[in-house]
Each structure stands twice: as C-alpha cells, then as structure tokens.
C-alpha cells in the first residue's frame, strides 16, 4: 500500500519490465539510452569505477572478464555511454554486489514503526517470451554497437569492428583504388602524349637542320615506343616497369678494390684507376639504361593495349 509520498514506477522496455517504488521527496528517475539512473547520486560509470578501484582491478582486467575492450570500460566510467542491462548484471556478479548498487539505487532505511514506507529494490522481471541474453563478445569501435556473434566480430590491426563497419571500410578502400586507377589512366595518356610530341618535334627540327627527312621516321618510331613505355609504367598494372629496372641494374657493377703504396706515385695511380672505374661504370650504366629503354619500348608496344584494357575493366587492379 502506497502513501502520498511514494510513486509506483513502471518502465517498459522491449521484452523486459522494470518495476519499483521510490520516494517522491528525495529522488526522481530518468531514462537514458534504455538505462535507469538516479539524480542526486553517483552515476553508473562512477559506481563501476569505485567498485573496480576498491577491488584493485584495472580497466583491461575488467574488460577481459566482460569480453569487451578496455576502451569500452573507459567510456562507461567517463559517462560517454552506459552498459546494457545484461552487462550490468555481469558486472554486479563480478564485484559481488547487487545491480541496484551499480545503478546507484539505495533503499531508504525506515524506522521500525513505519515498515510500509521502505522502498523495495528494483527488480528485473522477464516475461515468458524473453529470450536468454547472449554474452557480449566485444563492442565495435566505430558504431559502438555490442557484438554477440563471433562471426560478426572482426579484428583489424588490434581494433574491434563489426562486419557491417568492416564491409563499409573495404568498400571505401575499393572506391579509392578505382579512383586512383582512373587517375593513372588519364596521366598515362597525358604524359605519354607529351613525350611523344616532344620526340616528334625534335625529329622535325633535326630533319630540317640536317636536311634529312628520313630522321622524322626514326623519331616517329621513338615517339610511339616512348608513349607506350611511359604509359605502361604509369598504369602500373603490368611488368614493363619492373623489367626495365631489372635490366638497368645490370649496369651497376661493383669494381674490386685497389692496392697501392703510400707515396706520390701510388696515390696518383689510385686516383687514375678510380676515375677509370667511375667512367667505365657511367658508360655501362648509360648503355644498360639505353638497352633497357629500347627493350622496354619494344615490349610495351605489345603490352600497352592489354594494360589499357585491364585498367578500363578493373581500375582497382595494380
């Protein structure tokens, strides 16, 4: 039986009812994110932090017992989010207290002559259709939603994500790769055309100066090979660039050491040999570089159509 100082509180939640009696003079109940907190007392996060500190537990140790991340426990204690009802029950079991203490609900001590004014604790009453609560395996760090199914739990570089957020990230990465593929195709055509135009203009100038029209044919062939070679290297979805670099590396030879005496003639001889080795290495590098460009240009003439088609059909491929 309730007096005018008591109010019967009834909060309905999907598949769950909350009932309780509280004094209208002292406190008032509020609902936030489907959880109950009491004004005028410590919040749920403060109670969790106090009980964890009293039992000398770290946030990581408590998170491991609850199968959540330490970041989730920190957000509870800072009041950014609040744990679910099932998580509160599990926290109460770990700390050996009642759920009322976690929620910050304290029953008033009534005098013996007024036992009817003592407010009973809030109880969680499940109806016959309530399904058993599954353990929380983790909390998604992007959408902050609890993860109950192990198949929906994705660990990405020490981060916990749900499958929905992981798929969204993969789609964003694929869209970025497609955009980069389109950019590579545009740049390959632009820079290849610029190189071909420069070679063709050079051929025309050389032919006009030397009065040899046949030079235009050679520079025209060089322009075509230069266009296909540079385009294949920019598209970066073929083997032309790696092949040219591999051939060019053969020109860098490590010459053996030189034995000399510590006198003027020995030092002069050392300098002469070193300069000779350096000039020889430069000549070899230029020769292998020219050979690599020539072979790469000829091969790219046949590879470029396939590389361009691959970029059009699969711009995200590299």
- Which alpha helices (DSSP H) does the chain contain, by range? 44-54, 59-66, 70-77, 85-95, 99-103, 163-210, 214-235, 240-249, 264-313
pLDDT at 132: 57
Domain assignment of residue 29, yes or no: yes
DSSP character at residue 35: E
Q: Is the distance from CB of 119 to CB of 22 less than 8 angstroms?
A: yes
Of 312, 60, 53, nearest in space to 182 by CA: 312
Domain assignment of residue 264, yes or no: yes
Q: Do 54 and 177 have their domain in common?
A: no
Q: Do 185 and 302 have their domain in common?
A: yes
Residues 6+ apart with CB under 8 A from 75: 81
- Which residues make beta-bridge pairs with 143? none
Domain assignment of residue 205, yes or no: yes
For position 27, which CATH number holds?
1.10.260.40
For the record, the structure tokens of 215 come out as 């030079």
DSSP assignment of 205-219, as one string? Answer: HHHHHHT-THHHHHH
Domain assignment of residue 162, yes or no: no
Q: Do 290 and 226 have their domain in common?
A: yes
Q: Do 221 and 90 have their domain in common?
A: no
Rounded (5°) CA angle 252-257-262: 140
pLDDT at 156: 74
DSSP character at residue 122: P
Domain assignment of residue 160, yes or no: no
Q: Is the distance from CB of 47 to CB of 104 less than 8 angstroms?
A: yes
Q: Do 252 and 185 have their domain in common?
A: yes
Q: Is the distance from CB of 240 to CB of 293 less than 8 angstroms?
A: no
CB atoms within 10 A of CB 82: 21
Q: Do 187 and 308 have their domain in common?
A: yes
Q: What distance in Å separates the CA atoms of residue 171 and residue 222, rounded to the nearest whole number?
A: 42
Out of 116, 134, 152, pick the residue that ends a domain.
134
Domain assignment of residue 141, yes or no: no
What separation, in Å, do the N-terminal and C-terminal C-alpha atoms of the chain show?
76
Q: Is the distance from CB of 292 to CB of 244 less than 8 angstroms?
A: yes
Q: Indicate the SS3 state at residue 291.
A: helix
Domain assignment of residue 15, yes or no: yes
DSSP character at residue 261: -
Q: What is the dihedral of CA 172, 174, 180, 186, to 10 degrees?
A: -120
pLDDT at 295: 92
- Which residues make beta-bridge pairs with 35? 32
Q: What's the maximum distance between 2 C-alpha atoms anywhere in the chain?
A: 125
Residues of the chain with pLDDT under 50: 1-40, 108-113, 126-130
Q: Indicate the SS3 state at residue 156.
A: strand
pLDDT at 62: 85
CB atoms within 10 A of CB 203: 20
Q: What distance in Å separates the CA atoms of residue 269 and residue 261, rounded to the nearest whole number?
A: 9
Out of 118, 134, 150, pick the residue that ends a domain.
134
Domain assignment of residue 167, yes or no: no
For the record, the structure tokens of 4 come out as 């005018």
Q: What distance in Å separates the CA atoms of residue 27 and residue 148, rounded to the nearest whole number?
A: 35
Q: What distance in Å separates the CA atoms of residue 84 and residue 72, rounded to the nearest whole number?
A: 12
**Domain extent for 230:** 172-313
Q: Do 130 and 181 have their domain in common?
A: no
pLDDT tens-digit readout, 76-94: 888 888 888 888 888 888 8
Q: Do 181 and 300 have their domain in common?
A: yes
Model's pTM, two decimal places? 0.49
Q: Is the distance from CB of 39 to CB of 28 less than 8 angstroms?
A: yes
Q: What distance in Å separates the CA atoms of residue 218 and residue 216, rounded to the nearest whole number?
A: 5
pLDDT at 302: 93
């Amino acid at each position: 039986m309730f007096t005018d100082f008591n109010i019967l509180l009834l909060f309905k939640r999907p598949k769950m009812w909350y009932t309780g009696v509280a004094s209208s003079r002292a406190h008032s109940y509020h609902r936030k994110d489907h959880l109950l907190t009491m004004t005028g007392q410590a919040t749920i996060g403060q109670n969790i932090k106090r009980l964890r500190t009293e039992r000398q537990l770290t946030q990581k140790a408590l998170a491991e017992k609850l199968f959540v991340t330490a970041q989730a426990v920190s957000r509870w204690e800072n009041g950014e989010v609040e744990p679910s009802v099932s998580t509160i029950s599990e926290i109460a079991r770990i700390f050996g207290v009642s759920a009322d203490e976690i929620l910050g609900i304290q029953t008033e001590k009534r005098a013996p002559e007024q036992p009817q004014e003592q407010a009973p604790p809030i109880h969680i009453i499940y109806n016959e259709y309530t399904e058993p609560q599954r353990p929380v395996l983790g909390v998604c760090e992007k959408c902050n939603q609890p993860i109950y199914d192990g198949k929906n739990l994705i660990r990405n570089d020490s981060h916990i994500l749900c499958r929905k957020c992981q798929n969204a990230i993969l789609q964003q990465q694929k869209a970025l790769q497609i955009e980069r593929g389109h950019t590579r195709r545009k740049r390959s055509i632009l820079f290849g055309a610029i190189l071909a135009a420069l070679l063709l203009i050079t051929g025309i100038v050389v032919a006009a100066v030397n009065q040899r029209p046949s030079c235009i044919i050679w520079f025209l062939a060089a322009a075509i090979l230069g266009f296909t070679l540079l385009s294949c290297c920019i598209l970066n979805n073929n083997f032309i660039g790696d092949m040219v670099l591999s051939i060019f590396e053969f020109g860098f030879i490590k010459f053996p050491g030189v034995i000399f005496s510590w006198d003027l003639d020995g030092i002069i001889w050392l300098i002469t040999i070193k300069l000779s080795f350096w000039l020889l290495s430069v000549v070899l590098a230029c020769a292998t570089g020219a050979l690599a460009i020539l072979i790469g240009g000829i091969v790219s003439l046949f590879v470029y159509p396939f590389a361009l088609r691959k970029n059009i059909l699969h711009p995200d491929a590299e």
